[in-house]
Amino acid sequence: MGIRITGTGLFHPEDVITNEELVESLNAYVEQYNSANADKIAAGELEARRGSSAEFIEKASGVKRRYVSEKTGLLDPNRLRPHLKERADDEISLQAEWGVIAAKQAMENAGVTSEDIDVVILACSNMQRAYPAVAIEIQTALGIQGYGYDMNVACSAATFGLKQAYDAIKSGARRVLLVNVEITSAHNDFRSRDSHFIFGDVATASIIEDTDSKTGFEIVDTQLFTQFSNNIRNNFGFLNLSENADIDDKRFRQDGRKVFKEVCPLVAKMITAQLEKNAIAPADVKRFWLHQANASMNELILKLVVGKAAADADPALVPIILDEFANTSSAGVIIALHRTAHEVNDGEYGVLCSFGAGYSVGCILVQKHVV
């Protein structure tokens, strides 16, 4: 018997925003803002906002488009956030609704029903509310007995969630449903040239169970790491009102250059150490499913792990889905696995590795078993 990922699911909303659409909206906002604040900008009291271009976005990130919860509000220069309708308490929340759709697909792919699952974990960057846990709402909507909880380790939440699922099964649970629902468009600052293009909205789900009778990816080893940093941050929280804080600026922000410089070598070091611990050569890993934040980051990490020659010879070692989805925070590694699992053969190894705010890094070494 071995604890395996036996099924995954993926849901994305229908609305798509291209880089060209996003740039047109930002540049219109920038023109309005700079015109309305021309005197203060001239006096040095305010900084002028900067526009962008589709070429800059793709060169800086590799992103070409992204799925979003609602596009008309995001593309309105006078709004720059989605038009979402508040739901009554007796209606299923948006985050739970997406999670249920992805979960049903994962359950079908794993060949399990609600009666087979004991634990539901919602692991993602941004929860729709403080409580009750959205995981429990998903659990109830699916008719699952047992327990559920929410957890947040930012972009590393999926790999940290896999570790929690692994431990739950070791402690007696039969199966775990891990869900990652990222409605990132609601926390991003679409007024910022540096961040307006980064994120996309999506939901993923995975079934984890102890089995030797199903095809899946057996979890061979797990490595988790955290180290505090302010370089990626979102200060939105329930204390904001009591602090008389400016809630308008409580959104995602980062120092991208510092993140790139500090995180890439850290991630490569962790992956290398994990492979060495398990006596596996980097050349024997079929796929590295890395966090989908930035194409250049993933290219560098791959080169640091397998060497420049091997990375250049086979760039498919690191599947890239961010060109279509953008950065979907915790869900990116699961999307990459979901889309390319068929490329890994029986007995071959793969590494799921996510990294992000915290800093946090999670590495899950897996081996595929075909039954």
Which residues does the annotation mark as catalytic?
155
* Buried b or exposed e, range 170-180, using 16+ CB within 10 angstroms: eeebbbbbbbb
AA letter at 4: R
User: Residues in the chain, how many?
Assistant: 371
H helix runs in 129-235, sequence order: 134-142, 157-170
Q: How far apart are CA 352 and CA 218, in angstroms?
A: 12
C-beta of residue 65 within 8 angstroms of C-beta of residue 19: yes
Phi, psi at 101, each rounded to 5°: -65, -50
229: DSSP letter: -
**Residue given tokens 């200060």 in the structure block:** 235
193: DSSP letter: T
AA letter at 54: A
337: DSSP letter: H
Beta strands in 91-215 (DSSP E): 119-123, 147-151, 175-182, 202-211
> How distant, in Å, are the alpha carbons of 97, 118, 164, 167, 262 from that of 172?
28, 9, 13, 9, 38
Q: Which pair of tokens denotes residue 84?
A: 């979402």
